Amino acid sequence: MMTSSSSEPKLNLSAPGVSFRVLVVDESESRLEAMVALLAQEIQGGEISSAADPATAWQVASQLDRLDMLVAAIPAENGEHIFGLRDQIVQRFGVLPGAFYSDMDMNGYYDWVHGEQLFFQPLADKAFVTWLQAVWSERSEQVGVIEASRPAEMVAETATQENPVPSAVALTEVEAAPAPTSVPVVATEAAAEVVTPVVESLPEPVQVADPVAAIMPEDEGPLPAGITLGDYELTRLIESNEDWALYDAEQKGISRTVNLKALHRYHRRDPEKVEALLKEARCRALVNHPAIALVYEANQENGVNFYARERVDDPSLTELGDRGEKLSDGAVIQFLSVVSAAVSYLVDNQMNFRPITGDMIRVGKEGHPKIINSVISGEPNFDEAEQIGLLADAVFPLLTKGRYGGELALHALMVRMHGQGDAKVGQAIKTLAQLEVALDYLGEKLISGSLESQGKSANRSAVIAGSLIGGGILLAGIIMALTMGGGAKGKDFDYMIRIPAGTFIYQEDEEVELEQFWIDEYEVTIGQYAKFLESVEADEEMAKKWRHAEHPASKTTHRPPEWDKYYRAAVKGKAYVGTAIDLNCPVMQVDWWDAYAYAHWKGGRLPSEQEWEKAARGTLGNIYPWGNELDLTRFNSGSKEQGGDKFQYWSPVDAMSRDESTYVVKGMAGNVSEWTDSWETDPDDPDKRVPIRRGASFLTEEGFELTRRRPAKSPDDKDKLTTGFRTVRSIPPPSSE
């Protein structure tokens, strides 16, 4: 067998005198070779001709005395040329069985098809081979009967015969195409005679059996069980409407049960309906999240357009609520955490989807949620507040408590998710980032036992699809896996280090004596600050007690400007402004009022400049935390010199272990600059006082000495990603010895 190249038409002359001839056309050399090999395997003794383009294919076809089948790929561009070739072949040989295949949307060519089959590339071998063998069998029988009685002059057509150029192929393409290298010719006495073929004497078109049409109801609506579409055998009709039906099906090749959504056959000529189904399949196939049902493939068989998706037949939250079943507190938080993370995934990937409701959230046998894939084509049109309210509607009937009470954290959360927050239950939740913070906060309280009183009720058991789900189901590892976070879990950085009373060298040579105090071992992290936000937003009246007496009335939130973006990225372990971030990185973009409120919420305060400097320099007055020699490899800075740190911007607070003072306080040389409680006159405005920051940041390129003082422009300055803080206490903290 000879294979094709991109420039020459090739013929397979392995079986001279055979009665079945196929022409294959494909611009891809690898696909062409694969198709020729498949046909040679399935059509024993057949003659297979191949070409890389319609013009060359016509040169081959015009030199054949008979053709029995056309198999052609529809190219990405100028697909109509293939159908122009088909029309010329029909004029010459009559209507033939044909197959067209492509890996793109073929909806635009449905009106061009006249009895041929369409197959998606890569071909489902079983479906294509079944069709091929049926055509070969019937066509060979018809051709075999006629072959013995055909006039010799019809078999003696030579390669010199002039034929019309296909109307859909440009003349220049034909002129440029190389001549065929070999042509099958049957030797007869009339070999030199040019004879125009008589179309009427050729075999009638083969009518290939259509198993779907044979048992199709007259209205061609839902298909009965037992029908096979490609590799799928329909086993049960689940639901249907006037346009489509959803089935359970068995994927026979790999023995997998799937759901199969099929357009009713009477829509096969409706390009809008076909395109809508294909668009839906394409959009949903892009989803790759463990909590959202997958779409496997789309195909077309015997006029039925369909796609297969992951089978989801577990009960929905709505069904469980209607049956009066309950979820434990842990399961509710798990469900909301996983579903909100899945919604965030869709939003982050700019996917358009129908709002997720209770009947779309299914409960698996292990208690894990699975969401029906509702992605649709079009520009994203997402209302976060609406979606959050729908999630509250989905889980509220499943709560173990039958009424709302101010002490019940989950019921309070439902009120907040409906946008009805107040001073009693907390701030209304209107964004996914707010919901994630609230769920993290409640999850930790549940695990630590703060919701133990609710857990006693929940732990009695909740019957979900035949399994018991107790209050202990909420494990951090489960949520981390199901939310597809990938980011590091927030560590416990609450430890504080005691700085003993005594004198130390302040600034150049000033000797200062301080009382003992305790200072955070590390800078305050994103994970720590998230707990603060949840707490202050849950109780706005109490939050006022932690604010500074001069807190600006216009400042109504302690959320950094980009909090929602970088917190969500940190939870998932993704990148923010092109750099990896997680919950263990320092909180950024906080102004002085934010840092002050956090410190007092935590039971402490901000350090004075003197306290900060003593903790960083020790009693000997080191220029850097570790000594008096600059070592750029020990801390996170913006230095571009060789040997600098490996981080582009921020780093987890414990990433640079050698950035450590003699008191073992970490991260005081770099990463983020830190607010202090010290103020001074603004160098540029003698009538204005501003707070002081200390320490270099990940963008600082020089001036790393610990004596460097960094006045802020104002206490409201929070636009900088380079600013964070740590806290101190004058009395021992509960977590320190």
* Helical residues (DSSP H) of 524-625, grouped into ranges: 526-538, 540-543, 563-572, 592-601, 609-617
Of residues 351 and 442, more confidence is placed in 351
The pLDDT, as a whole number, for residue 629 is 92
Q: Tell me what pLDDT residue 665 has.
A: 95
Closest C-alpha among 622, 609, 600 to residue 679: 609
Which residues have CB under 8 Å from 684's CB, separation 6+? none
| Domain 496-729 grouped into CATH 2.30.40.10 | no
pLDDT higher than threshold 70 for residue 485: no
Q: For residue 388, what are its two tokens? A: 């959050």
Nearest to 184 by CA among 375, 425, 314, 17: 17
Instruction: Look at 117 and 481; give whichever has higher pLDDT.
Output: 117
Residues 478-501, mean pLDDT to the nearest whole number? 68
> So what's the pLDDT on residue 414?
87
Ranges for all domains in the chain classified under CATH 3.90.1580.10: 496-729
Residue 224 has a pLDDT of 85
Tell me the per-residue pLDDT of 114-129, one tens digit each, with 9 for 90 and over. Answer: 777 877 766 655 677 8
> What percent of the chain stands above pLDDT 90?
27
Superfamily (CATH) of domain 317-482: Transferase(Phosphotransferase) domain 1 (1.10.510.10)
Give the separation between CA 385 and CA 395, rounded to whole angstroms: 16
Does residue 173 surpass a pLDDT of 50? Answer: no
pLDDT at 162: 39
Residue 50, C-beta contacts closer than 8 angstroms, at least 6 positions apart: 3, 4, 9, 10, 11, 12, 23, 24, 25, 26, 32, 35, 36
pLDDT digits (tens, 9 = 90+) for 36-89: 888 888 887 778 999 999 989 999 998 888 888 899 998 877 778 888 888 888
Residue with tokens 């034929």: 163
The pLDDT, as a whole number, for residue 518 is 95
111: pLDDT strictly greater than 80: no
More reliable by pLDDT, 318 or 186? 318
pLDDT at 108: 64
Q: Which two tokens stand for residue 114?
A: 């006249």
Helix (H, G, I), strand (E, B) or coil at 532: helix
Mean pLDDT value across residues 180-198? 32
Given this model, what pLDDT does residue 142 score?
56
What is the structure's pLDDT at 178? 38
Structure tokens at 405: 């009470």
Long-range contacts of 318-325 (CB under 8 A, 24+ apart): 318/357, 318/358, 318/359, 318/394, 319/359, 320/363, 320/398, 320/464, 321/358, 321/397, 321/398, 325/398, 325/462, 325/463, 325/464
DSSP 315: P
- Residue appearing with tokens 């059509």: 43
Tell me what pLDDT residue 314 has.
Answer: 82
* pLDDT at residue 276, rounded to an integer: 87
Report the pLDDT value the prediction gives residue 345, as an integer from 0 to 100.
86
CA–CA dist 485, 501 (Å, integer) = 44
The Cα–Cα gap between 14 and 517 comes to: 94
pLDDT of residue 445: 66
Q: Would you list the DSSP string of 205-242? A: PP----HHHHT--TT--SPPTT-EETTEEEEEEEEE-S
Q: Which residue in 65, 63, 77, 33 sits closest to 51, CA to CA?
A: 33
* Contacting residues for 504 by C-beta, under 8 A, at least 6 apart: 511, 512, 514, 613, 614, 617, 618, 619, 621
Residue 687 near residue 674 (C-beta atoms within 8 A): no
- Assign 416 a pLDDT band (cuts: 50, 70, 90): confident
Per-residue pLDDT tens over the stretch 695-726: 999 999 889 999 999 999 899 987 678 999 99
Mean pLDDT of 376-382: 83
Q: What is the pLDDT of residue 140?
A: 62
Superfamily of chain region 10-201:
Response regulator (3.40.50.2300)
pLDDT score, position 133: 80
CB atoms within 10 A of CB 423: 13
Residue-wise pLDDT tens digits, 558-583: 999 889 889 988 988 888 887 889 99
Average pLDDT over residues 634-663: 86
Question: What is the C-alpha radius of gyration for the chain, rounded to an integer number of angstroms?
Answer: 37
Q: Where in the chain is the domain with CATH 1.10.510.10?
A: 317-482
The 10 Å Cβ neighbour count of residue 192 is 9
Q: Dihedrals φ, ψ of 345, to 5°? A: -60, -45
Q: Mean of the per-residue pLDDT values for the chain?
A: 77
The residues of the chain that CATH labels 3.30.200.20 are: 211-310
The residue among 263, 229, 234 whose CA lies nearest residue 247 is: 234
Which is more confidently placed, 630 or 454? 630
Is residue 483 within 8 Å of 570, Cβ to Cβ?
Answer: no
CA atoms within 13 A on the CB side of 295: 22
Instruction: Provide CATH 3.40.50.2300 ranges for the chain.
Output: 10-201
> What is the pLDDT, as a whole number, of residue 613?
96
pLDDT band at 130 (very low <50, low <70, confident <90, very high): confident
d(CA 402, CA 386): 24
Nearest to 473 by CA among 491, 492, 453, 455: 455
Kindly report the pTM of this predicted structure.
0.47
Hey, what are 44's tokens? 């024993």
Q: Locate 599 and state its tokens.
A: 């410190």
What's the token pair of residue 663? 């008191």
Residue 494: pLDDT above 80? yes
Q: What's the pLDDT tens digit per position in 302-334?
A: 778 899 998 887 888 888 888 888 877 777 887
Nearest by Cα to 332 from 419, 492, 457: 457
CB hemisphere CA count around 131 (13 angstroms): 25
Q: Which residue has the higher pLDDT, 425 or 34?
A: 34
CATH architecture of the domain covering 211-310: 2-Layer Sandwich (3.30)
